Amino acid sequence: MPRSGGTVYLTAADESGMLVSFIQSNYMGCGSGIVVPGYGISLQNRGAGFSSDPASANVVAPGKKPFHTIIPAFLTKDGVAQMSFGVMGGAMQPQGHVKTLVRMLDYQQQPQAACDAPRWKVNQDFSVDLESIMNADAVEGLGANGHRLKSVEDPYMDFGSGQFICRLSDDADHGYVAARDSRRDGHAAGF
């Protein structure tokens, strides 16, 4: 039997500067159970995390932005796409997006370095999961500040997996740099 659920992220770019950011997730089971006639594409069911209960923080209602973890993303500058990217991994997705962007934008790291860097994850109970490759001094400092920490040996599901394509300049002729996360299967290729 195949594994239950799963998410695939794809980013692509062409010589004209067009960028694509696409994510497909079948969350539980085989997705929604609805297949598009004539195409064989199984529709996702990530909306299962939304609620119709008015007391829920994740209720679908006008003016609300319920928490969701399907986040194909773009980074733009002056209305022009600069990077298409995504980080898969359930509730880690928004955290992974922020972590990689902070490394690239604030610390000027190349996309592959930002993608490879150790990650942490804040859980619903505010405990913090840490990748086992996290810097020992950083771990000690977090513990000394009262954080409840747990080292996680297998990063496959817990810390997300990203793919990135970034324009090298505003001129599409200058090309791109691509990165892919080593935490899961993936490939960055140009032709």
Tokens for 83, please give them.
């990077």
> Active-site residue 100, yes or no?
no
**First-to-last CA distance in the chain?**
36
Q: Please count the other Cβ atoms lying within 10 Å of the Cβ belonging to residue 138.
A: 12
What is the distance, to the nearest Å, from the Cα of residue 105 to the centroid of all Cα atoms in its chain? 16
Alpha-carbon distance 152 to 160, whole Å? Answer: 13
Under a CB-based contact definition with an 8 Å cutoff, are residues 132 and 183 in contact?
no
Which element (helix H / strand E) includes 102?
helix 92-105
Coarse DSSP helix, strand, coil percentages of the chain, rounded to the nearest 5 percent: 20, 30, 50
Region of 113 please: left (phi>0), alpha (psi -120 to 50) or beta: alpha
Which element (helix H / strand E) includes 18?
none
Region of 168 please: left (phi>0), alpha (psi -120 to 50) or beta: alpha
Active site residues: 7
